[in-house]
A and B are shown apart, each in its own frame.
Chain A
Amino acid sequence: MFGGLKEKLQAARNKLGSSIGAIASAPAEAGEAAAPATPGTTPATIHTAETSGAAPAPAAGFVEKMKVLITERELIVSDKNIADALSELEMTLLESDVALPVTDAIIAHVRKGLVGKHRKIGESVDDLVVGALKNALLEVLGKGFNLAEYIKTHEHPVKILFTGVNGTGKTTTVAKIGAYLKKQGYTVVIGAGDTFRAGAIEQIGVHAERLGIKIIQHQEGADPSAVLYDTVQYALSHKIDVVLADTAGRFHNKSNLMNQLDKIRRVMKPDLIVYVDEAVAGNDAVIRASEFDRTVGADAVVLTKADMDSRGGAAISIAHTIGKPLMFLGVGQAYDDILPFDPEQVVEELLGGS
């Protein structure tokens, strides 16, 4: 994941850099040639100081500009300079599945970071651009979530409830996280809370058996709250470290199913609610994440199917929308195909050197 985004961000960064670079060289020449010129004849159109929106008096703008240009040898980046490059960046983000409102927010952030900036002649254009992009992305992605650390510092059993819409990979994720925690030395019990979908109980049952993890399951059609309550009771009486509660996929616009999830939450009192969605989801990711967050809450996010595609915009969309940290990325079909998510590392990689 993120490979494609990285490539495109690189291009956007070059473009931003060169459009700022271009204004840097053009006025420098203009400044030398036209230093004594009157305001009327100066090619002042390239970048006037109209960054605040309200147009300043022409004379003041010119004086200000000349002062900055010649006296202080600095440049002001204006909206106009980077408009093209920003719209290219916008396309880049949209093509990478970053949802439209989130794209708008990032663009605004980058613009704010660049426009009106006084740049010293010696300062590298690249640094300026990378800095603005990096800030915008980090702001959006926030901090990661260290599950192992969380379990270490909280009372056991730590009860984790997995939620999400249909087909995002909750059951597979539960199995993967079970394997991950087992490897870390924790004892785990899984609750087969998807009692709705045909074959779901068998599916999680096979996973648990393969991994050697205890599973609590009822019949198909049973009350999921009861299954998960039993799972928690089992964990308490057997001193198990972690409870992983699987649930049936449900759409956020089905109030009866969301109420059922709310009941599950009341009954099992989870320490963590993990929202699972897929990395290939488009704009809907934003809508459903915010609905799940609003109705039952979410403490962390797992993004699955990150190996399908190199974009990864959904990560940015969801993180920005609900402001909750990304915990893991699912990157394949095997049990160990799960990666803890580290935003700084990701951003560093996205914008890093090469």
Chain B
Amino acid sequence: MLDGLSTSLKDALKKLAGKTVVDRAAVDELIKDLQRALISSDVNVKLVMELSKAIRTRSLDEELPKGTNVREHVLRIVYQELVRLVWASTEVKLEPQTILMAGLQGSGKTTTTGKMARYFQKKGLKVGVICADTFRPGAYDQLATLCNKIHVPIFGDPKATDARQIVKDGLVALKDQELIIVDTQGRHALEADLIQEIIDLNAITKATHRWLVIDAALGQSASEQARRFHEAIGIDGVIITKMDGTAKGGGAMSAVAETKSGIVFIGSGETIEDLERFDPDGFISRLLGMGDLKALAEKVEQAAIAEDMDVNAMMKGKFTLRDMYKQLEALNKMGPLKQIMGMLPMGNMQLPEGVYDVTSTKMVRYRIIMDSMSPKELDDPGLLNSSRMQRIAHGAGATQEEVRELLKYYKMMQRTLKTMRGGGGKFNMQRLMKRFSGMQ
């Protein structure tokens, strides 16, 4: 069912793919599918409407960046608008501080408190935990079990009934710890006495941060709940829990929009280590049910390529020197090679510092050499014998060695394209780069 949904979004995108003029109807169709994707990921309906309005206006008003097609143009806007929404400053400082946990019943505050204690402990801080949940049976035992496992001191009393007193005592007892996390009882916005309690706890602790814990499955009520919590204690960060299920976390996005804060952590597993810092790209891809959004958005930045290269012909295996010339030209338009490489998903591959500059100089040389070739030679590199090479080298002010190197590079590109076609997989940039740098 969900797959079907993201497929429909992809279909809508496909319709825009070949277009170079913004087609109002196609954009509207895409927006509609986008709305459905976001709503079925539990993003607040009103928020979705606002978002899609902004996306629509920008898609139709903004000029199409040169060399991009409409799909890329619209996608980039979608991506930007969504990132703008979730990517508020959520810096986690590693310094003495007090964090107050807030959230609905069963959202995962206690588990997250344990995970956070572990996170900050690993970062080298002296962490202490206060259990201010005096209501739920077993809450103290649960937190104590988690904290004992990682040797973090915990303050609490399963028999106490006054959360305020516990927190006061706890702050005294844990005064030697650098970072204190206060776990609280689950509550919802309509429980006035409990809301008052957390207001008091906030005053008592003078908390540095008040983080709202949101279950990834929380639906439309997320906005309202977040708003009320925000009014009460001023939420300055959201933690999404249970992201290891199938829920998309749209509710958390609504909460972030409502509190004008950002997403701090994501909980995705049952062990104490399962806490991650927030990654907006992964989150947004999941919301929309499509994995390649960032890559697509970035393609726009590399504008020139799509315009100049005949990808189809290349995919059929026809790759001539002429194509390579266009490719080099396109690469040149894109700016410094280093910047381009930064955008490509190459994992942790490290290139030697000098490589970038040498390579781009080399590219310019290659183009100059190719400028000395005849059209026939460009279309059919097989013609190039040693006398032709000599002529070309002479004309370009290069050595025959350089011409041979160029041909080697050309053959390598041709091979790479062949493997890409054969394997059916993605363009193996990493391998290409390896060969490329090996040629220096």
Chain A residues in the interface with B (C-beta under 8 A) = 91, 94-97, 99-101, 165-169, 196-207, 220, 251-254, 278, 280-288, 291, 304-305, 307-309, 311, 313-314, 333
CB pair B137–A305 under 8 Å, yes or no, is no
* Any A CB within 8 A of the CB of B182: no
- Tell me the smallest distance from the CB of B186 to a CB of chain A, in Å: 9
* A286 CA to B248 CA, complexed, in Å: 13
- Tell me the smallest distance from the CB of B28 to a CB of chain A, in Å: 14
- Tell me the smallest distance from the CB of B64 to a CB of chain A, in Å: 31
* A204 CA to B137 CA, complexed, in Å: 8
CB pair A282–B251 under 8 Å, yes or no, is yes
Residue of B nearest to A168 (CB): B106
* Any A CB within 8 A of the CB of B108: yes
Residue of B nearest to A248 (CB): B270
CB pair B247–A308 under 8 Å, yes or no, is no
Chain B interface size, as a band, is 35 or more
CB pair B106–A308 under 8 Å, yes or no, is no
CB pair B220–A282 under 8 Å, yes or no, is yes
- Tell me the smallest distance from the CB of B55 to a CB of chain A, in Å: 18
Since A166-B270, A283-B247, A307-B188 are in contact, a sample of 17 more A-B pairs with Cβ atoms closer than 8 Å, ordered by chain A residue number, is A100-B5, A101-B40, A165-B242, A167-B105, A167-B106, A200-B138, A202-B142, A203-B141, A204-B138, A207-B137, A252-B245, A253-B244, A281-B247, A282-B251, A283-B41, A291-B246, A308-B105
Name which of B210-218, B324-332, B333-341, B426-434 contacts chain A. Answer: B210-218
* A199 CA to B143 CA, complexed, in Å: 8
- A220 contacts across to B, CB distance below 8 A: 145
Residue of B nearest to A278 (CB): B106
CB pair A100–B221 under 8 Å, yes or no, is no
Residue of A nearest to B139 (CB): A199
CB pair A283–B42 under 8 Å, yes or no, is yes
Query: Known: A91-B45, A199-B139, A308-B221. Contact between A251 and B188, CB under 8 A?
Result: no
Query: Known: A282-B251, A284-B42, A305-B104. Contact between A251 and B245, CB under 8 A?
Result: yes
CB pair A199–B247 under 8 Å, yes or no, is no
- A291 contacts across to B, CB distance below 8 A: 246
- Tell me the smallest distance from the CB of A281 to a CB of chain B, in Å: 5
CB pair B40–A100 under 8 Å, yes or no, is yes
* Any A CB within 8 A of the CB of B136: yes
* B105-123 residues at the A interface, CB under 8 angstroms: 105-108, 110
Contact of A197 among B2, B142, B247 (CB under 8 A): B142
Query: Known: A99-B40, A166-B108. Contact between A282 and B247, CB under 8 A?
Result: yes
CB pair A101–B1 under 8 Å, yes or no, is yes
* Any A CB within 8 A of the CB of B87: no
CB pair B36–A100 under 8 Å, yes or no, is yes
Pick 13 A–B contacts, CB within 8 A, sort by A: A198-B145, A199-B110, A199-B145, A203-B142, A205-B138, A206-B138, A278-B106, A280-B104, A280-B218, A280-B219, A284-B248, A287-B2, A287-B247
- Tell me the smallest distance from the CB of B132 to a CB of chain A, in Å: 15
Contact of A288 among B42, B108, B245 (CB under 8 A): B245
Query: Known: A99-B40, A167-B106, A251-B242. Contact between A199 and B140, CB under 8 A?
Result: yes
* Any A CB within 8 A of the CB of B6: no
Residue of A nearest to B40 (CB): A100
Query: Known: A95-B220, A251-B244. Contact between A308 and B42, CB under 8 A?
Result: no
CB pair A282–B143 under 8 Å, yes or no, is no
* Any A CB within 8 A of the CB of B192: no
Chain B residues in the interface with A (C-beta under 8 A) = 1-2, 5, 36, 39-42, 45-46, 104-108, 110, 135-146, 188-190, 215-221, 224-225, 241-242, 244-248, 250-251, 270
Query: Known: A100-B39, A251-B244. Contact between A307 and B190, CB under 8 A?
Result: yes
CB pair B106–A169 under 8 Å, yes or no, is yes
- Tell me the smallest distance from the CB of A97 to a CB of chain B, in Å: 4
- Tell me the smallest distance from the CB of A321 to a CB of chain B, in Å: 10
* A206 CA to B45 CA, complexed, in Å: 41
* A91 CA to B137 CA, complexed, in Å: 40
Query: Known: A285-B217, A314-B219. Contact between A203 and B136, CB under 8 A?
Result: yes
Query: Known: A95-B220, A199-B145. Contact between A308 and B104, CB under 8 A?
Result: yes
CB pair B220–A96 under 8 Å, yes or no, is yes
Query: Known: A97-B221, A282-B218. Contact between A305 and B106, CB under 8 A?
Result: yes
- B215 contacts across to A, CB distance below 8 A: 167, 281
- A305 contacts across to B, CB distance below 8 A: 104-106, 188
- Tell me the smallest distance from the CB of B43 to a CB of chain A, in Å: 9
- B142 contacts across to A, CB distance below 8 A: 197-200, 202-203
- B247 contacts across to A, CB distance below 8 A: 281-284, 287
Residue of B nearest to A305 (CB): B105
Most buried by B among A100, A165, A282, A286: A282
- A314 contacts across to B, CB distance below 8 A: 219
- Tell me the smallest distance from the CB of B131 to a CB of chain A, in Å: 10
Query: Known: A281-B219, A282-B219. Contact between A167 and B107, CB under 8 A?
Result: yes
- Tell me the smallest distance from the CB of A164 to a CB of chain B, in Å: 10
CB pair B108–A280 under 8 Å, yes or no, is no
* A96 CA to B270 CA, complexed, in Å: 30
* A61 CA to B421 CA, complexed, in Å: 56
CB pair A311–B245 under 8 Å, yes or no, is no
Contact of B39 among A94, A252, A280 (CB under 8 A): A94
CB pair A309–B221 under 8 Å, yes or no, is yes
* A255 CA to B323 CA, complexed, in Å: 50
CB pair B137–A284 under 8 Å, yes or no, is no
CB pair A253–B218 under 8 Å, yes or no, is no
CB pair B246–A313 under 8 Å, yes or no, is no
- Tell me the smallest distance from the CB of A105 to a CB of chain B, in Å: 12
- Tell me the smallest distance from the CB of B301 to a CB of chain A, in Å: 33
CB pair A308–B137 under 8 Å, yes or no, is no
